[in-house]
Amino acid sequence: MPELPEVETISKQLDGVLSGRKITKVEVLRSKSFSGNSSDLVGKTIGGVTRRSKMLAVTFRNWDRLLVVHLKMTGQLIYLSGSHRVVGGHPTPDWVNELPSKHTRVIVDLDNGAKLFFNDLRVFGWVRVFSKEAWAKLTGRLPPDVTSREFTLDYFAKVLGKSGRAVKLVLMDQDKFGGVGNIYANDALYLAKLDPRRKAKELSGKETKELFQAVKDVIGLGIKYGGASVDKYVDAAGVGGKYQEHFLVYGRAGAKCKRDGETIKKIKIGARGTYYCPGCQK
């Protein structure tokens, strides 16, 4: 599943090719992948593409509805215009082969002759039409996005201070913080020099503050480099992100720590691969 920086990258790139385009036809090939009246989309002009947490929201000009996409594990969006295509999500042969494919679930035709394909191998992803009121209600229940102004040190400290779980699990809890996945949780804890197994509520005020800043720093770095091309992620130009070239600890089991030369270890926390340096993460 793409993490926040990956979805942010997809959002920006699809915004560039979809803004101003008018929908001329919508074909739903798998009914369970689409919710809403697809015919209502026909004739509507796309205003832009935005992101909220790990969801993509397509807005429209002069219409009080949004088309929301969640890629989940293997979802993929492909914009195809003649021989030119841009892709976001799970990379498979579909993003270079003829479309539609057996994994295509929804097709949106546009007024410039282009098509937007929603493909999903494992069919966990979805495309849904939301009213602005329903969208506001849904997003209003979401925790603060870690790139938002609502993500404050005070909020962060309160959440950690109430939890006896491993701090890494709290960071990845999408009911607490929006957008921190396995890659960036690993690197944030490394940057803050914290053992991922420590109980969140046992962190000192200084450690909490340093971890808060580390989360913001690694997410910012991920966005800067267009995300990471691991776990089957490519961006909307069909190109992998570059964050993996800057991993601090994620995926580096057996390598030497860049700080103290200790060997990086891999363990399991909550069934997720966890990387840390036993020398400098305490």
Is 54 a known active-site residue?
A: yes
Is 2 a known active-site residue?
A: yes
Q: Measured between alpha carbons, how far is 109 from 65 in angstroms, rounded to an integer?
A: 18
| Beta strand residue intervals within 82-167, DSSP E | 84-89, 104-110, 115-120, 126-131
Query: Cβ distance 228 to 211 under 8 Å?
Result: no
Among residues 2, 5, 144, 196, the one annotated as catalytic is 2
Q: What count of Cα atoms within 13 Å lies in the side-chain half-sphere of residue 100?
A: 19
Q: What share of the chain is helix, strand, coil (3-state, %, to 5)?
A: 30, 30, 40
Is 272 a known active-site residue?
A: yes
- 18: which residues sit within 8 A by CB, 6+ positions away? 46, 48, 49, 58, 79, 110, 116
Among residues 3, 6, 85, 168, the one annotated as catalytic is 3
Among residues 197, 232, 242, 272, the one annotated as catalytic is 272
User: Angle at Cα 62 formed by Cα 57 and Cα 64, nearest 5°?
Assistant: 55
Among residues 51, 54, 85, 176, the one annotated as catalytic is 54
Active site amino acids: 2-3, 54, 272
